Amino acid sequence: MGKRWLPLEANPEVMNQFMWGLGVPAEAGFCDVYGLDDEMLAMVPQPVLAVILLYPQDRKKESVASPSSTIESKGSYFDRFYKQTADMDPAQRAASLEEDEEMEKAHSVAVTAGDTEAKDGVIEHYVCFSCVDDEIFELDGGNSQPISHGPSSPDSLFQDAAEVIKDRIAQYPESLNFNVMALSKQ
């Protein structure tokens, strides 16, 4: 069994520290999404580049789409990692990521930055929503491929993700364990 990575707190400050520590330019940053109705969505800085959802862990879904990426990361950790692992299959990439010291260091710093104690055994799970080639995709490390949720655009990504998230929340009527953050260009 590989390394155990403690979960990161669902907190924009923690996520920003994590991604900026890996070389993502500070012109992009996470912020909280306080509600999924139009008024609350309008409060989030635009443009929204991605949406992160933390929700009760569920492994029922299996992916159907093919992986794709249009994000340019000029010299960042992600750019280097992508180039170093371009010829690897997903399992090899995961193993390489798990053993990567730069990722581990940035993660360790972010784990200690939150307001709550980091501990193993949480039941919540992160997924990310992003628009690629006019489709909204759900990126979930527990699935072998991204999950397509249909047509979208960079301008409608946030509203489209909100609709998918509303449906996800409806699947867990007894739970209050949800958090939504948007990655916006500052």
Instruction: Give a yes or no: residue 77 inside a domain.
Output: yes
Instruction: Give a yes or no: residue 109 inside a domain.
Output: yes
Q: Which domain holds residue 32?
A: 12-185
Instruction: Give a yes or no: residue 179 inside a domain.
Output: yes
Instruction: Give a yes or no: residue 134 inside a domain.
Output: yes
Q: Which pTM value belongs to this model?
A: 0.71
Helices (H), the chain: 12-21, 38-41, 77-84, 90-99, 101-111, 157-170
Look up residue 25 and give its two tokens: 């330019």
If one counts the domains in the chain, the total is 1
CA distance to 42, 134, 160, 162, 184, per residue, from 46 (Å): 9, 18, 14, 15, 6
Instruction: Give a yes or no: residue 24 inside a domain.
Output: yes
CATH of the domain at 88: 3.40.532.10
Instruction: Give a yes or no: residue 16 inside a domain.
Output: yes
Answer for the pair 136, 161: CB distance below 8 angstroms, yes or no: yes
pLDDT value of residue 143? 79
Answer for the pair 185, 47: CB distance below 8 angstroms, yes or no: yes
| Contacts (Cβ under 8 Å, ≥6 apart) of 37 | none
Positions in the chain whose pLDDT score sits under 70: 1-5, 58-73, 75, 110-123
Instruction: Give a yes or no: residue 7 inside a domain.
Output: no
Instruction: Give a yes or no: residue 6 inside a domain.
Output: no
Cβ–Cβ contacts within 10 Å for residue 71, how many? 14
pLDDT value of residue 2? 61
